[in-house]
Amino acid sequence: MTEAFRQGLHELGYVEGHNIAIEFRAAEGSDRLPALAAELVQLPVDVIVARSTDAAQAAKTTTTTVPIVMVVDADPVATGLVASLARPGGNLTGLTTVATGLGSKRLELLKEAVPSLSRVAVLWNAGSDAMTLIFREIQTAAPALGVSVQPVGVQAAKDLDNAFATMTEERADALFMITDVLTRPYTQQVVDFAAKRQLPTMFEGKDPVAAEGPVAAGGLMSYGSSLTDQLRRAASYVDRLLKGAKPADLPVEQPMKFELVINLKTAKELGLTLPPTLLFQADEVIR
């Protein structure tokens, strides 16, 4: 994942060990983030890149002077990281992979694929404020599309079995999975569960890590921005900050490009005939 960030730096003329050094700190969970942020500040570093809402929050709490570039998956205004996207203020700026109306758009696409959709189960990490924001956006958008939401929040891996049981009992018409560090390892299980229950699925986007994303693995569709692209663009923030720009003056960037991926094989197995208008919008169709 960090490769995209390194690539971005390289494109801007930075060579590791020559004119730039990167100190990586992975907390393996959120608890150690404040300690690791403090460690980076003490080194010291010139800029901190924070890859998540929790990491950005930890860095922001730790320092008011070292510039911070965040790459987050939730609305940074709603999570209190910045005052506004245009004028972030303080020592933090960066990029987000979400855009206004994304939850609504994903539901619209799902409804286009499944016109009879009236109830969608949403699986997400309820222990994460950032992921809960994404869930709430879907929940808010649903009524306008004539869809009700079945919340299936999990807080630990052990909750997954209960989540599957709940979804089986309260049968929904489709399943929407919000991917994060907790739910991602279970993507294949979710895909298999959905196939067994004949549930159309919507995922947030192509998996930037796995060679095969959730749709290639058998999910019906995904729609989202490219995290890899956002990480590469984070390098340009680092570059500008190193050249003296002030974080408060650099607007937070939202994604401009989104990718729709559809698996036609899965659609056939589900007995769905996808309208040409939907297929026309797809960036990738798996046959």
Partner 1 sequence: MRRTIGLLVTLACIILGAPLAAEAPPSAKVARIGYLSVGGALDRP
The residues pairing with 72 across neighbouring beta strands, listed in sequence order, are: 96
Q: Does 23 bind partner 1 (CB under 8 A)?
A: yes
The residue with tokens 């979400």 is 98
Strand 221-225 and strand 201-203: the pairing is parallel
Burial of 287 (0-12, 13-18, 19+ CB in 10 A): exposed
Restricting to residues 61-80, which ones interact with partner 1 according to CB under 8 A?
66, 73-74
The residue with tokens 């900050």 is 241
Q: Does 169 bind partner 1 (CB under 8 A)?
A: no
Of residues 8, 40, 123, 137, which one binds partner 1 by CB under 8 A? 40
Paired tokens of 205: 């986007």
Q: Does 157 bind partner 1 (CB under 8 A)?
A: no
Q: Does 138 bind partner 1 (CB under 8 A)?
A: no
Of residues 24, 257, 280, 287, which one binds partner 1 by CB under 8 A? 24
Phi-psi region of 102 (alpha: psi -120 to 50; beta: other; left: phi over 0): alpha
The CA distance from 79 to 177, in Å, is: 21
Measured from the CB atom, is 125 or 263 closer to partner 1? 125
Of residues 52, 91, 93, 150, which one binds partner 1 by CB under 8 A? 52
Restricting to residues 175-214, which ones interact with partner 1 according to CB under 8 A?
179-181, 184, 207-210
Measured from the CB atom, is 54 or 229 closer to partner 1? 54
231 in Cβ contact with 196 (< 8 Å): no
- Judged by the rule CB under 8 A, the positions of this chain that interact with partner 1 are 1-2, 5, 14, 17-30, 33, 36-37, 40-41, 43-55, 58-59, 66, 73-74, 125, 128, 130-131, 179-181, 184, 207-210, 238, 242
